[in-house]
Chains A and B, each alone.
Chain A
Amino acid sequence: MLQTLLPILIFASLIMGAIGALRRVRLWRQGRRTPVVWRNLLLMPKRYLVDLHHIVARDKAMAHTHVATAGGFVAAMALALIVHGFGWRNPLLGGLLLASSLVMFVGALAVNRRRLHPPEKLSKGPWQRLSKSLLAYSVGMLLVSLPLVGVAPTLLGGGVLAVALTALVAWGVLELVVGMGWGGPMKHAFAGAMHLAFHRRPERFDDQHSNAQHDDHRGSRSTALFSLDLTAEKLGVEKPTDFQWNQLLGFDACVQCGRCQAVCPAFAAGQPLNPKKLIQDMVVGMAGGSDAHYAGSPYPGIEMGKHQGAPDQAIVPQLVEAETLWACTTCRACVEECPMMIEHVDAIVDMRRFITLEQGETPPSGAVALENLIATDNPGGLDNASRLDWAADLDLPRIQQRPEGVDVLLWLGDGAFDMRNQRTLRALIKILRAADVDFAVLGEEERDSGDVARRLGDEATFQRLAKRNIETLARYRFQRIVTLDPHSFHVLGREYPAFGGDYTVLHHSTFIAELFDAGRLSVKPSEQRETITYHDPCYLGRYNGEFDAPRRVLAALGIEVAEMARSGFRSRCCGGGGGAALSDVPADLPGRARIPDMRMDDVRATGAATVAVACPQCTAMLEGVVEPRPQVRDLAELVAEALIESHEAMPVSNPNETLEEVPA
């Protein structure tokens, strides 16, 4: 009896699963079409084993569980197809089938243990059921396969027990095979595999890098926003079908593991954003329906079950409230943690673009900043000619007077208008002078880099600023650009190349570290009376992989850094990026800590009396935390304080510095 039931079951489930999969593909293909490179399917297994596993393995226990369960299942299913499906009842294969079912069973046990008291970040509902289904399949397959190796051949030959076992296996294949195509929790396996093959940012994978082993931080390889064609019919994403098809595919791959939710600063601060729910809402929009079936944490403060979506229906506000999108700081912590390599920030900015460019509904403070950027080239609406007012006594060299070129073009950024940041800038100038660096500034010809405009979705203003800056830079000669603003650093270095601006851009931490390496700075060693910790800015660390240089600078000062629990690629955002500070989404909710307050608590937990920062925005946010609190000092300030200013300090020749001395 089993011998007739099992093949029917297996083939029926495979056919059903395949039909479901085709329907799923049709759902994805509702998005904007981009060319499909079929050959990328071949890259998928390696991407799964190398890149994806690299992220999954940050949670060791879960990684092992997944390997056992998924590996066991894939093997057991393949073998079951041969043994039970095609009826090649080879004892050796039967033994392997038993073994893989057993491995899967062990994995499924671990899954179930985790599901006894699931952490808040996990989704319940069908995902709770999945853990049982895994058990059902592995136990069922184990038992029906026992006769293959000669155990209990007669006992299971027929009767009630056989029917019961078949039912168990049927439950398993229904969830694991049919559900894979029809949108159950197991769809993550199918969609995830396709997502890896057709990912919109292939640079995130090792196979696109010749020297993958020695590459910098993996997550930071592809972080520039995609530029928008401003002549397109519709600008940005209004409806789910306005996403590119492989973005929809990416959303569908989500396993609702909640790692993104757990690291999202906006979610922690009680703001109406949860990156996991956002991705699930995109799936709801793509497939049509309401968010009532979602079994995870909501957007804080927004009731569930009240929103619905459809592929051709506007996302905001029917499916997602605009404030959800504006609460994001674009810190990329979610993207960094996501084991399925889903791109939340791209999706959020795509939707913001529609709101800003087509609907003109940027939050009021953001709209004011944009209007100022258009009229005055800086978000404060200040006279751009006053960009150098703070340096009136410093006699800064202007690049306009250096037609032969300079080594370093110092990019000031909009921090030049901020009194706190002017102190940092003065410290940096002091360092550059002490190291005898050949530098100059653009002065009033410098414009805002366009960072804020771009994150607020105003791609038109961003591109205008970018093009003007690139035109300006083309008129002068310099070896490299140094800036103390990680946002300018990111935009100039990573986002201007798409518009024809290719420069060597260094963050001041990297540059100062180089100066130390070259022996061009002499400092008195710190007495280290106090503990110091370091806060990694999102746009320096996660976006650009620079974790090392700031720590090297602190080490050169003789400071030992007491690391925060969330540091390096897991650093928690200060709350100031991505235009979130201009979003008018209430930042201080009753009973909840603001994002910078939480970061300051991280600092306090190390016992540090000072937190070293490397970004004007972080400085402003962290210094906005009420006293008493640890002091906030920029790296440049710490270095400038420790400088020994000797007049005979001759510049040591620096191999990095091959300056063109030939006049232009």
Chain B
Amino acid sequence: MSQPENATAETVDAIGTVHALISSGRHPVSGRPGRAREDARAVEMGLTLAGAGLHLVHAGNAEEPALRDYLGMYHGLDDSAARGELSLLPMAAEDDAVPPLAHWLETQGARMVLTGQRAECGEGSGMLPYLLAERLGWSLTTGVAAIEAVAATHVTVLQALPQGQRRRLDVRLPCLIAVDACAPAPRQSAFGPARRGKIEIVEDVTPERDAARAEWQWQPARPRPKRLKVVKATNARERFRAAAAKSSAANGQVLSDLTPEQAADKLIAYLRAEKILVDDDEPASD
């Protein structure tokens, strides 16, 4: 990874404390709680970037056993005596995590927040980064594979695209960075640092009920049917090309330097072309 030399000192100068939002993961085989795949990568990215200056945040239950697993990652840092610190915003599963998180991050003066893209249990809608960035008025980048450089006003990140492609983006600060599962693997969680880490419960959190959630209907998930991929190929070369083909996203186009109105028109036109948006007078022909 192309980490800038002496990343820690520069980062602190440029953006102050880096925060990582974490949640409890669920092991795919046993279902036991533990570090979530993407959140752990976000913490790893934060530790590489800011060292012991990374601060963890969790909105939820203080008894969550997985929290200590993240604190166990505070080792191998420049300051060997450093220990992890986690701020816990207490709330129940029915509460909306966005308002307390937004409020807390604002009071802390946070300018850069790392998180996974989607929780492994609970709602796991993947909406939290969007809602949080919207509420804070920050920029948001998802699918981040690496942070390349940090400056006073922006960060340079690599965004993961399908087929191993990467896109370099300059993101304006303050920003929220949602880390992709293909970011560098998280370091081991060690028992000693996990034990020593500090969990500080934030007192003045007033949870709000999640209004949208209250209206939902719940039902057990059904296994999603697999889409059949029919390849009509007569020879090995074509079969290989079909297998190695890039996703259809490859024929998209990048629009830039448009006014918001022009951009909206382009998007609507695209959605119409794809028959996702249907004009009211023109009934959908499924």
- Residues of chain A at the chain B interface (Cβ within 8 Å): 230, 234-235, 356-362, 367, 370-371, 374-377, 381-384, 458, 460
* Beta-carbon nearest neighbor of A234 in chain B: B192
* B187, A360: Cβ atoms closer than 8 Å: yes
Contacts of A375 in B (CB 8 A): 27, 29-30, 32, 34
B139 contacts the other chain (CB 8 A): no
Partner of A358, one of B32, B34, B75: B75
Cα A381 to Cα B30 with chains together (Å): 9
Residues of B within 8 A of A377 (CB): 30
Asked if B173 is at the interface of the complex by the 8 Å CB criterion, the answer is no
Q: What A residues does B193 contact at CB under 8 A?
A: 358, 360
Establish whether residues A360 and B29, one from each chain, have CB atoms under 8 Å apart when the complex forms.
no
Given contacts A234-B192, A358-B190, 7 further A-B contacts (CB under 8 A): A358-B193, A359-B76, A360-B188, A360-B193, A361-B188, A377-B30, A384-B30
B270 at the interface (CB under 8 A from A): no
A238 to chain B, nearest CB (A): 10
- The binding surface of chain B is classed by DSSP as loop
Which residues 10-55 of B have a CB within 8 angstroms of A? 27, 29-30, 32, 34
Can you report 13 residue pairs joining A to B where beta carbons are below 8 Å apart? A235-B191, A357-B191, A358-B190, A358-B193, A360-B72, A361-B76, A362-B188, A367-B188, A371-B188, A375-B32, A376-B27, A383-B30, A384-B30
**B residues in contact with A360, CB < 8 Å:** 72-73, 75-76, 187-190, 193
Q: Are A359 and B27 in contact (CB under 8 A)?
A: no
A235 cross-chain contacts in B, Cβ below 8 A? 191-192
Which A residue sits closest to B69, measured CB to CB? A374
Q: Which residues of A contact B192 (CB under 8 A)?
A: 234-235, 357-358
In the complex the two chains form, what is the Cα distance from A220 to B120 in whole Å? 48
* Whole-angstrom CA separation of A367 from B75 in the bound complex: 15
Chain B residue with minimal CB distance to A383? B29
Complex Cα–Cα for A357 and B191 (A):
5
Chain B residue numbers with a CB within 8 Å of A382 are 29
B190 pairs with A381, CB closer than 8 A: no
Distance in Å: Cβ of A512 to nearest Cβ of chain B:
34
User: Shortest Cβ distance from B16 into chain A, in angstroms?
Assistant: 27
B contact residues around A358 at 8 Å (CB): 75, 190-193
Q: Return B177 CB to nearest CB of chain A, in Å.
A: 24
What's the nearest-Cβ distance from chain B to residue A403, in Å? 27
Partner of B191, one of A376, A381, A458: A458
Of chain B, the residue at the smallest CB distance from A356 is B190
Within 8 A of A (CB), among B157-188: 187-188
**When A and B form their complex, which 4 residue pairs have the shortest distance between CB atoms, in order from nearest?**
A360-B190, A358-B192, A360-B188, A460-B191
**Min C-beta distance of A361 to chain B, whole Å:** 7
Give the total number of A-B pairs whose CB atoms are below 8 A apart. 53
Task: Give the distance in Å from the alpha carbon of A70 to the alpha carbon of B72 in the complex.
Answer: 53
The interface residues of chain A lying within 8 Å CB-to-CB of B75 are: 358-361
Residues of B contacting A383 with CB < 8 Å? Answer: 29-30
Q: How large is the interface on B (under 10, 10 to 19, 20 to 34, 35 or more residues)?
A: 10 to 19
Give the CA-CA distance A42 to B122 in the complex, in Å: 67
Q: Is the CB of B34 within 8 A of A230?
A: no
**Contact residues of B with A, CB < 8 Å?**
27, 29-30, 32, 34, 72-73, 75-76, 187-193, 195
CA distance in complex: A598, B39 (Å) = 46
Best-surrounded residue of A230, A360, A377, A383 (most CB of chain B within 10 A): A360
B190 touches A376 (CB 8 A): no
Cα of A370 to Cα of B188 in the assembled complex, Å: 10
Q: How far is the CA of A377 from the CA of B29 in the complex (A)?
A: 11
Least CB separation from A376: chain B residue: B30
Q: Give A189 to B193 CA distance when docked, in angstroms.
A: 42
Residues of the B chain whose Cβ atoms lie less than 8 Å from the Cβ of A458? 191
What's the minimum C-beta distance from B134 to chain A, rounded to whole angstroms?
35
B-chain residues with CB within 8 Å of residue A234 when the two chains form the complex: 192
Q: Which residues of A contact B30 (CB under 8 A)?
A: 375-377, 383-384
Residues on B with beta carbons closer than 8 Å to the beta carbon of A230 = 191, 195
- Which A residues touch B34, using CB under 8 A? 374-375
User: A235 to chain B: closest CB distance in Å?
Assistant: 5
Q: Is the CB of B72 within 8 A of A381?
A: no
Query: In the assembled complex, which residues on chain B have CB atoms less than 8 Å from the CB atom of A367?
Result: 188
A374, B187: Cα distance in complex, Å: 15
Query: If A230-B191, A360-B187, A360-B188 touch, does A376 touch B29 (CB 8 Å cutoff)?
Result: yes
Give the complex CA separation of A382 and B30 in angstroms: 8
Residue of chain A at shortest CB distance from B26: A375
Rounded to whole Å, the gap between the CB of A570 and the closest CB of chain B is 37
In this complex, which of A234, A374, A382 has the most chain B Cβ atoms within 10 angstroms of its Cβ?
A374
Closest partner residue, chain B, to A382 (CB atom) = B29
Chain A: CB-nearest residue to B27:
A375
A374 to B49 Cα, complex, angstroms: 28
A251 to chain B, nearest CB (A): 25
Give the Cβ gap from A464 to chain B, nearest Cβ, in Å.
10
A375 CA to B31 CA, complexed, in Å: 8
Within the complex, the shortest CB–CB distance from B78 to chain A, in Å, comes to: 14
The CA of A382 and the CA of B192, in the complex, are separated in Å by 27
What is the chain A residue whose CB lies nearest that of B73?
A360
Give bound CA distance, A376 to B73, whole Å: 20
Task: With CB as the reference atom, state the residue of chain B lying closest to A459.
Answer: B191
Residues of B within 8 A of A357 (CB): 190-192
Chain B hits for A361, CB < 8 A:
75-76, 188
Q: Which residues of A contact B76 (CB under 8 A)?
A: 359-361
**Closest CB in chain A relative to B35 CB, distance in Å:** 9
- Minimum CB–CB distance from B82 to chain A (whole Å) comes to 13
Taking the nearest CB of chain B, how far is it from the CB of A556, in angstroms?
42
Q: Which residue of B lies closest to A375 (CB)?
A: B27
- In the bound complex, CA of A122 to CA of B34 (Å): 51
A455 to chain B, nearest CB (A): 16
Residues of B within 8 A of A370 (CB): 188
Neighbouring B residues of A460 by C-beta, 8 Å: 191
Rounded to whole Å, the gap between the CB of B114 and the closest CB of chain A is: 20
B68 CB → nearest A CB, Å: 11
The distance from the CB of B192 to the nearest CB of chain A, in whole angstroms, is 4
Closest beta carbon of chain A to B3's beta carbon, Å:
19
Q: In angstroms, how far is the closest chain A Cβ from the Cβ of B243?
A: 28
Q: Which residues from B are CB-within-8-Å of A384?
A: 30
Give A458 to B188 CA distance when docked, in angstroms. 12
Name the residue on B nearest A235 (C-beta).
B192
Most B Cβ at <10 Å: residue of A357, A375, A377: A375
Output the least CB separation between A435 and chain B (Å).
Answer: 36
In the assembled complex, how far is the CB of residue B34 from the closest CB belonging to chain A, in whole angstroms? 6
Taken together as a complex, chains A and B put the C-alpha atoms of A458 and B72 apart, in Å, by 13
In the complex, which residues of chain B have a beta carbon less than 8 angstroms from the beta carbon of A376?
27, 29-30, 32
Please measure, in the bound complex, the distance between the C-alpha atom of A370 and the C-alpha atom of B34, giving whole angstroms: 13
- How distant is A89 from chain B, measured CB to nearest CB, in Å? 65
Q: Complex formed: what's the CA distance from A356 to B191 in Å?
A: 8
Residue of B nearest to A460 (CB): B191
In the bound assembly, the distance between CA atoms of A381 and B32 in angstroms comes to 12
Q: Say how far A253's CB is from chain B's closest CB, in angstroms.
A: 31
Q: Give A485 Cβ to nearest chain B Cβ, in Å.
A: 22
The answer to whether A381 touches B188, judged by C-beta atoms less than 8 angstroms apart, is no
Kindly list chain A residues whose C-beta atoms are within 8 Å of the C-beta of B72.
360
B218 → chain A closest CB, angstroms: 26
In the complex, A230 Cα to B196 Cα: how many Å? 12
CA distance in complex: A359, B196 (Å): 13
**Most chain A beta-carbon contacts within 10 A, residue among B32, B34, B187, B192:** B192
Which residue of A is nearest B30, CB measured? A376
Q: When chains A and B are docked, how far (Å) is the Cα of A316 from the Cα of B188? A: 18
> Residue of B at shortest CB range from A461?
B191
Instruction: Specify which chain A residues have a CB less than 8 angstroms from the CB of B27 in the assembled complex.
Output: 375-376
Complex Cα spacing A536 to B243, Å: 51
B80 to chain A, nearest CB (A): 9
Q: Which residue of B is nearest A354, CB measured?
A: B192
> Closest Cβ of chain A: how far from B147's Cβ, in Å?
22
Q: A381 near B29 (CB under 8 angstroms)?
A: yes
Q: Shortest Cβ distance from A297 into chain B, in angstroms?
A: 32
Name the residue among B27, B29, B34, B187 with the largest chain A CB count within 10 angstroms: B29
A342, chain B: closest CB distance, angstroms: 28
Least Cβ–Cβ distance between B190 and chain A, in angstroms:
3
